[in-house]
Amino acid sequence: MSITKRVTYLSDGRELIYFDDADTTLPPDRPADTRPPQPRPALPTLRQDPLTGEWISIAAARQSRAFLPPAELDPLAPSTPEFATEIPAPGYDVAVFENKSPSFGPGLPDRRRDQDEARGELTAIGLGRQLPGYGR
């Protein structure tokens, strides 16, 4: 059995991926996200613990994420005419979307460094050291 992958984007630029079964009766085109665009949260940072040398992800934007919303305001439920959510299409086999409040942020560093420089940047220990929290 083959699966069809259909990639689209939410109004804030995050990916929304539909995985459809081979025998699905769902249409290939799905409705667009009609919610107004919202800015993406700030890029998390990695901060180094100067005592242990460990790098820790600090994602302050996660503090404002939805927590136990009432059923009629559930952002993870399929959209209805009254309430638009993370999943604009009313029918799907499987829907996967990027986290709205991730521990690591989208994108890549502005410049590429050679591996030795990057490794040294991660292994040296010091006070106030931090790096952008790229990753997915």
| Pairing between β-strand 3-9 and β-strand 15-21 as defined by DSSP bridges | antiparallel
In the three-class reduction of DSSP (H, G, I as helix; E, B as strand; rest coil), residue 130 is classed as strand
Task: Give, as one character, the DSSP assignment of residue 105.
Answer: B
136 residues of the chain, pLDDT tens digit each: 688 898 989 988 888 999 988 888 888 888 888 889 888 777 788 888 988 888 888 887 777 777 788 888 788 888 888 888 888 877 788 889 888 777 777 766 665 554 445 556 667 777 788 887 877 7
The domain limits of the chain are: 3-132
* 8/14 Cα distance (integer angstroms): 9
**46, two tokens:** 């990695």
Question: What token pair was written down for 59?
Answer: 């994602």
| Residue 83 to residues 66, 77, 91, 100, 103, Cα–Cα distance (Å) | 15, 10, 15, 17, 27
Q: Which two tokens stand for residue 109?
A: 């560093």
Query: Residue 33: exposed, middle, or buried by beta-carbon count in 10 A (0-12, 13-18, 19+)?
Result: buried
Tell me which residue has tokens 């984007």. Answer: 9
Residue 88 backbone dihedrals phi, psi, to 5 degrees: -70, -30
- Count the alpha carbons within 13 Å of 1 in the hemisphere toward its beta carbon: 7
pTM of the model: 0.69
Place of tokens 């069809």: 4
